[in-house]
Amino acid sequence: MAPHIVGLILTYNGERLFERCLASLAFCDTILVVDSLSTDATVSRAEAAGATVLSRRWEGPGPQFSFALTHIRAMQPKVDWVVSLDQDEQLSDELSASIRAAIAASSPADQVAGFLTPRASFYFDRFLKHSGWYPDYLFRVFRPEAMEVRVSGAHYSFHPLGPTRKLKGDIIHYPYRNFREHLDKVNSYAQQGADDAKAKGRRGGVAPGVLHGVARFFKIYLLKLGVLDGRAGFINAVHGAFYAFLKYVRAAETGDWGPKQ
C-alpha cells in the first residue's frame, strides 16, 4: 500500500505566497491547513486547492502544532508521513522529487524518523548563502509519531525521535516583504524573547543588551560569513544585533512608562 502523506501548514493572513506553497504540496494525499482566524483570502485559497481547513485561535506555535498533530494522528487511513511548510515557503522541484523518492524507498523497518531539508531564504536582493541562513537544515519531513515540537520564545523547531537523513533541493523561503516587515518581526520576536527570558528568571539590562547585540553582529557578519552576502548580509547582521539589544533591554522593563493612575 502506498504511504499516506499529509502536507501541514499553519496560517494567518498568508495570502501573499500561499498559492505557491499549496501547489508545491500537491503530491500529498491530504493538505491540512490550521488557520488562526485569518481575515484575508488565506482560507478561501486553501479551500480552492482542496485542502482541509481547521480554524483555531493562535496561542503560540506549541499549542497550535499539538492541535494539528493530534488531528493528524487520528486520521484514517493512518498517516505515514507529514511534510510541514510555513505559509511563506514552497518546495523546490528538486526537493519535491527528493521527498517523494525518499518516502517511496522507506519502510517502517528502517526506523528513520524523517528527513532534513535545506532552506534558502531571500533577503533584500538575494538568497543568502551565508550569515547562518544557509543551508539551514530543518526537520520538515517526518513520521508523525517520531517528532516533538520545541518552542523558545517566538521560535519553534521540530526534533526527530530517531535517525534522520538529508535530502537534496531547497525549501524556498520569502520571509519578509520589505524592511518594514522585517522590523515588525524583530519587534515582535524581541518582545516574545524578553517575555520568555523573564519567565525563566534571566536578567536583562542595557549593558547585556549592548554586549549581546555586538556579539550577535560579529557572529552573523564575520563568523557566519555574512560579509560574503554583500549589502544584504550587512543589513541582516545589523537587524540581528538590534533584535538582541531590544530583547535584553525589554527583559529589564518593570512595567508601563509614565505616571501610574
Q: Is residue 258 part of a domain?
A: no
Give me the mean pLDDT over the 1-12 stretch.
Answer: 95
Determine the angle formed by the axes of helices 206-218 and 230-250, rounding to 10 degrees: 160
| pLDDT of 153 over the 70 cut | no
- In a domain? residue 63: yes
Domain assignment present for 255: no
Q: Which of 140, 173, 206 is the last residue of a domain?
A: 173
161 and 229 assigned to the same domain: no
- How large a percentage of the chain has pLDDT more than 70? 99
Query: 56 and 148: one domain?
Result: yes
pLDDT digit string, tens, across residues 211-248 = 999 999 999 999 999 999 999 999 999 999 999 999 99
Specify whether 97 is located in the same domain as 221: no
In a shared domain, residues 21 and 131: yes
Q: How many domains does the chain have?
A: 2
pTM: 0.91
Q: State how beta strands 119-123 and 171-173 pair.
A: parallel
Q: Are residues 139 and 214 in the same domain?
A: no
pLDDT for 255 beyond 90: no
Range of the domain at 77: 5-173
Q: Residues 77, 144: one domain?
A: yes
CATH number of 116's domain: 3.90.550.10
Give domain status of residue 113, yes or no. Answer: yes
Mean local confidence (pLDDT), 32-59: 98
pLDDT at 49 over 70: yes
Looking at residues 199-220, what average pLDDT do you find?
A: 95
What's residue 23's pLDDT?
Answer: 98
Domain co-membership, 90 together with 149: yes
Average pLDDT across the chain, whole number? 95
**Domain identity same for 116 and 139:** yes
Single out the residue in 119, 141, 173 at which a domain terminates. 173
Asked if the structure places residue 107 within a domain, the reply is yes
Q: Which residue has the higher pLDDT, 196 or 139?
A: 139
Residue 260: per-residue pLDDT: 76
